[in-house]
């Protein structure tokens, strides 16, 4: 990639210190920086963002894409803590669709998340078609229905209970979800009107880590917009049991895999209180 250091470099060395790939050096203390290994650049943009005088130019960040940052305008630690504590998985939803502008901001927030080696291999599929949403629910319940039938086999259940106690524990839940759906209630999406699936190349080493960082961003943005969010753990478990089935349902090719998913809806009400949870154990080493 084309990275250049301008003559207005003041020799602060910030770009050298933050570059994760070591493509920048500072031959003399206090002297200008220099580019030595441009082929190693991963395009993270740290050098451009760190430079206080705009002496670094990068082909991935042309004019108009590098904006000044007023750190004083950022949320305070107390405000961030309040957002984190306020966020809850609100399953009491209306049938009102989430506004398109809110969905765009949620996806944009997800795409701001960091990725390993700045590979930026994630893709986003936003589902708002009621028929496809219903298909996602039915796919998930279908997978769990087959598992429930297997667990209900009197010859199999004792062994499952002995060697896979967690699977046996979910048998009542699988049966309850089937009953709820038969009665006209969606136990998976809970009436959500949008589903965001985050996917990556099937061979990606950090697909799950990258996707879940992205979905965390999406969740926080949704909370700030007053949009309910529900992590789709059951959908992901079903997708892992039937490799490729969810991806085909969403129109993805065989080279992609869904690694995180979250449903969104307009809440019937907002929670009136925040709860302070007991602190988790912390060990210092």
180: domain CATH number is 3.40.109.10
Neighbours of 161 (CB within 10 A): 14
CA dihedral 57, 62, 65, 68 (to 10 degrees): 30
Confidence at residue 156, expressed as pLDDT on a 0 to 100 scale: 67
Same domain, 164 and 122: yes
CA atoms of 1 and 40, how far apart (whole Å):
8
Which pTM was predicted?
Answer: 0.90
Q: Is residue 129 part of a domain?
A: yes
Same domain, 142 and 253: yes
Token pair for 184: 């006209």
pLDDT tens-digit series, residues 99-120: 999 999 999 999 999 999 999 9
Confidence at residue 173, expressed as pLDDT on a 0 to 100 scale: 82
Q: How far apart are the first and last CA of the chain?
A: 40
Percent of the chain with pLDDT strictly greater than 90: 85
Structurally, the chain folds into a number of domains equal to 2
Q: Is residue 101 part of a domain?
A: yes
31-54 mean pLDDT: 96
Same domain, 182 and 48: no
Same domain, 91 and 219: yes
Confidence at residue 191, expressed as pLDDT on a 0 to 100 scale: 96
pLDDT tens-digit series, residues 242-274: 999 999 999 999 999 999 999 999 999 999 999
Confidence at residue 164, expressed as pLDDT on a 0 to 100 scale: 57
* Beta strands 228-231; 34-35: pairing state: unpaired
Listed in sequence order, the DSSP H helices in the chain are 14-18, 46-50, 77-86, 100-111, 130-152, 157-163, 165-169, 171-182, 207-224, 233-241, 245-249
CA distances from 212 to 102, 199, 204, 239 (A): 20, 10, 14, 16
Least confident of 8-17, 126-135, 177-186: 177-186
How far is C-alpha 226 from the geometric centre of its chain's CA atoms? 18
Same domain, 162 and 242: yes
64-73 mean pLDDT: 95
Q: Is residue 280 part of a domain?
A: no
Q: Is residue 67 part of a domain?
A: no
Same domain, 127 and 154: yes
Placement of tokens 């990275």 in the chain: 3
Q: Is residue 110 part of a domain?
A: yes
Which residues constitute the domain of residue 78?
74-270
Q: Is residue 86 part of a domain?
A: yes
Confidence at residue 171, expressed as pLDDT on a 0 to 100 scale: 75
pLDDT tens-digit series, residues 200-246: 999 999 999 999 999 999 999 999 999 999 999 999 999 998 999 99
Q: Is residue 68 part of a domain?
A: no
For residues 164 and 5, which has the higher predicted lDDT (pLDDT)?
A: 5
CATH number at residue 19: 3.30.70.20
Confidence at residue 150, expressed as pLDDT on a 0 to 100 scale: 73
CA atoms of 242 and 146, how far apart (whole Å):
11
Placement of tokens 């969104």 in the chain: 264
Same domain, 24 and 84: no
Would you say 221 and 258 are in contact if contact means Cβ atoms under 8 Å apart?
no
Q: Residue 123's beta-bridge partner residues?
A: 199
Binned at pLDDT 50, 70 and 90, residue 49 comes out as very high
Same domain, 136 and 54: no
CA distances from 131 to 120, 208, 269 (A): 30, 27, 26
Confidence at residue 166, expressed as pLDDT on a 0 to 100 scale: 64
Same domain, 221 and 258: yes
Same domain, 49 and 100: no
Confidence at residue 157, expressed as pLDDT on a 0 to 100 scale: 64
Same domain, 115 and 234: yes
Q: Is residue 63 part of a domain?
A: no
Same domain, 45 and 20: yes
Would you say 46 and 19 are in contact if contact means Cβ atoms under 8 Å apart?
yes
Answer yes or no: is pLDDT of 148 > 80: no
Answer yes or no: is pLDDT of 163 > 70: no
């Amino acid at each position: 990639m084309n990275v250049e250091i301008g003559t207005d470099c003041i020799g602060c060395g910030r770009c050298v210190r933050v570059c994760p790939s070591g493509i920048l050096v500072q031959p003399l203390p206090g002297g200008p920086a220099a580019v030595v290994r441009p082929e190693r650049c991963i395009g993270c943009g740290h050098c451009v963002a760190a430079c206080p005088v705009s002496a670094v130019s990068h082909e991935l960040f042309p004019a108009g894409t590098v904006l000044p940052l007023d750190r004083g305008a950022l949320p305070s630690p107390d405000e961030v803590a309040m957002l984190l504590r306020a966020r809850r998985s609100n399953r009491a939803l209306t049938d009102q669709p989430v506004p398109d502008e809110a969905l765009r901001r949620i996806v944009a927030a997800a795409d701001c998340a960091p990725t390993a080696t700045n590979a930026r291999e994630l893709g986003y599929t936003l589902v708002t078609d009621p028929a496809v949403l219903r298909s996602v629910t039915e796919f998930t319940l279908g997978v769990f229905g087959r598992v429930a039938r297997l667990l209900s086999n009197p010859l199999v259940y004792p062994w499952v209970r002995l060697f896979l106690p967690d699977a046996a524990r979910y048998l009542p839940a699988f049966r309850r979800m089937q009953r709820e759906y038969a009665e006209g209630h969606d136990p998976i999406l809970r009436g959500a009107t949008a589903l965001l699936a985050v996917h990556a190349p099937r061979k990606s080493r950090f697909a799950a880590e990258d996707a879940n960082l992205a979905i965390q961003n999406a969740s926080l943005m949704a909370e700030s917009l007053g949009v309910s969010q529900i992590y789709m753990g059951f959908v992901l478990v079903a997708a892992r049991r039937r490799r490729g089935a969810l991806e085909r349902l969403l129109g993805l090719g065989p080279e992609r895999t869904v690694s995180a998913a979250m449903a969104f809806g307009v809440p019937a009400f907002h929670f009136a209180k925040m709860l302070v949870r007991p602190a988790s154990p912390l060990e210092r080493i």
